[in-house]
Amino acid sequence: MSLTYPNIHKIPDGLQDLLKNLTREVLRDQPTNIYAFAAKYFTDLLTQQQGSPYQAVANKMLELFLAEDKTHSGMISYTSFKKVVYDPQLELDPRVSQMLLLYVDIDDLGRMDYDSFMSVAGDAIGYCIDTPTNIHDDEEPRIHVHGYTREELEDKLRQKFEEHDTGVDEELSRPACRNCFQDIELGLVRREINLLLGYMEENHQTGQVDTDQLAKTFVDLLFSAHEENILSLPMDKARVIEELFHVFASMDEDHTGELQAADIWNGLLHSDLGLTVTQTYAVMGLLADLSSPVEYEGFTEYAAGWLASFENGTVLHNTGDTIVGLTSTELYDRLIEIFSKHNSTNPGSTSIDAIAELLLPLNFSQRELSAVLSVALPLLTQRHIRDEQIYEMIATTAFDVCYTLQRLGIDIVAADEDEDPQADPEEEQVVE
């Protein structure tokens, strides 16, 4: 008789990063004996951690955590965790303490897992201390977060509060807040979510909230955190390349150096770059062929310039009111007309190449076409999705995808084949 057991184990903080780093080194060195290589890698890593100049601070921090943990559970409240990282005995700069708070998630009971955090505490302290204090000057301020201006992000947050609230007098619970912040349309990454949940713990543990004012406060928090580099997210091309390569390499189980276009899209969406779904479609516009395997190291190098420029948050490109000469409503109607006519005579014949042929009369640029086609990629792999659903999704999102592509600046060289396809987006002329 076989027995089954419930999965009660939580993935420790730092484990995914640890395994991603090991995977990267294995792929680079191609060792003949992976077990010996991994053993040496972990031994060297442990030696480095034990020799960290911040390990003494981490050890003192553990003492303080244990003193706060009256139940010996490895979990303490947000208030207790904050009390520890700001303790004068640690002699940490308040900015470093603030950054450390964002390393650990807050659960639905308002607790934080300090036990798992301690496995990376020494490195985390050093990393926070070494992180520059600001990014931009007054002449080049941040004007957007994840492609949203202040006003746009406020409106989007209000919309998500309405979608995810508990339905009781605008009282937002911890799970409701977490679901709201994790909504893929916002594109918030883990540290940003922890920043906002921490604010809720300090200011709105119980009772009703004014969601309009809360949205404005959250936008101020996010813009300030980015400007002061408290979140320490990838900001330059080298860090974007490292993040994307880690993600793609972890998906390449056969170590071929290639992934299908659908996997590239999935990797972009789940990277720690804060891309929304629509933005990932726009970035897919950089691929000329969605039907063939993608050499992901080359794609990573190619896309990183645009992504780093976007992450920097200082420029949004001007866009028109039309795409391929059509308004949003006109483009939707035209696409539905094309798809309906095709589906009535060719049911069950949907593929990337078939959809591309249908879109030719609209005169999309190559990058607009690839971006729009990428909307179908995750749908084509699902057997229960009907052709009509795929067509409807493309028609509904095509305008926003192309609009976002223009805002990112990905379309700048798309229309002219004589331009250098590897042009650095930072050298392109942009309009704020």
Query: Read out DSSP for 136-196?
Result: --TTS----BTTB-HHHHHHHHHHHHHHHS-SSTT---HHHHHHHHT-TTT---HHHHHHH
* Rounded-to-integer distance, Cα 418 and Cα 133, Å: 42
* Rounded-to-integer distance, Cα 74 and Cα 78, Å: 13
* Rounded-to-integer distance, Cα 74 and Cα 55, Å: 19
Beta strands 294-295 and 258-259 are antiparallel
pLDDT of residue 362: 95
Q: Please check whether residue 75 is in contact with residue 114, taking contact to mean a CB–CB distance below 8 angstroms.
A: yes
CA distances from 310 to 231, 237, 376, 397 (A): 16, 10, 24, 21
> Could you tell me which residues come within 8 angstroms of residue 225 by beta carbon, excluding any fewer than 6 positions away?
192, 195, 231
The helix-helix angle for 78-85 and 190-203 (nearest 10°) equals 110
> Could you tell me which residues come within 8 angstroms of residue 427 by beta carbon, excluding any fewer than 6 positions away?
none
Tokens standing for residue 320:
């028109």
Give backbone dihedrals phi and psi of 424, rounded to 5 degrees, phi first.
-75, 125
Question: Tens of pLDDT along 169-217?
Answer: 556 678 888 888 888 888 888 899 999 999 998 887 665 678 888 999 9
CA distances from 278 to 172, 360, 405, 411 (A): 27, 22, 9, 15
Tokens standing for residue 70:
């009256």
Strand (E) or helix (H) holding 370? helix 366-374
* Rounded-to-integer distance, Cα 376 and Cα 378, Å: 6
Is 324 exposed, middle or buried (CB count within 10 Å of its CB: 0-12, 13-18, 19+)? middle
* Rounded-to-integer distance, Cα 249 and Cα 244, Å: 8
* Rounded-to-integer distance, Cα 401 and Cα 279, Å: 7
* Rounded-to-integer distance, Cα 274 and Cα 186, Å: 8
Q: Please check whether residue 284 is in contact with residue 264, taking contact to mean a CB–CB distance below 8 angstroms.
A: yes
Closest CA to 144 of 186, 182, 175, 176: 186
The dihedral of CA 115, 116, 117, 122: what is its sign?
A: positive
Is 155 exposed, middle or buried (CB count within 10 Å of its CB: 0-12, 13-18, 19+)? middle
The CA radius of gyration of the chain, in Å to the nearest whole number, is 24
pLDDT of residue 421: 39
Q: Which residue has the tokens 């999705």?
A: 385
Q: Please check whether residue 153 is in contact with residue 220, taking contact to mean a CB–CB distance below 8 angstroms.
A: no
Question: Tens of pLDDT along 244-271?
Answer: 999 999 999 889 999 999 999 999 988 8
Give backbone dihedrals phi and psi of 285, rounded to 5 degrees, phi first.
-60, -15
pLDDT of residue 361: 94
Query: Read out DSSP for 395-428?
Result: HHHHHHHHHHHHHHTTTTTTT-TTS-TT--GGGS
Is 95 exposed, middle or buried (CB count within 10 Å of its CB: 0-12, 13-18, 19+)? middle
* Rounded-to-integer distance, Cα 363 and Cα 372, Å: 12
Give backbone dihedrals phi and psi of 110, rounded to 5 degrees, phi first.
80, 20
* Rounded-to-integer distance, Cα 185 and Cα 145, Å: 13
Tokens standing for residue 133:
């204090």
Tokens standing for residue 24:
């990267």
Q: What is the pLDDT along the chain (432 residues), one digit of tens a residue?
A: 444 445 556 677 777 777 877 887 787 777 777 887 888 777 767 765 555 678 889 999 999 999 999 998 999 999 999 999 999 999 999 999 999 999 899 998 899 999 888 888 888 898 888 887 766 666 678 889 988 999 999 999 999 988 876 444 556 678 888 888 888 888 888 899 999 999 998 887 665 678 888 999 999 999 999 888 888 765 678 888 988 999 999 999 889 999 999 999 999 988 888 888 999 999 999 999 999 999 999 999 999 988 888 888 888 888 889 999 999 999 999 999 999 988 766 665 688 999 999 999 999 999 999 999 999 999 988 878 888 999 999 999 999 999 999 988 887 643 333 344 334 444 443 333
> Domains in the chain, please, with CATH?
15-50 (no CATH), 55-130 (1.10.238.10), 150-227 (1.10.238), 237-432 (no CATH)
Task: For residue 133, count other CB atoms closer than 10 A to its CB.
Answer: 9
pLDDT of residue 316: 87
Closest CA to 176 of 209, 146, 224: 209
pTM of the model: 0.73
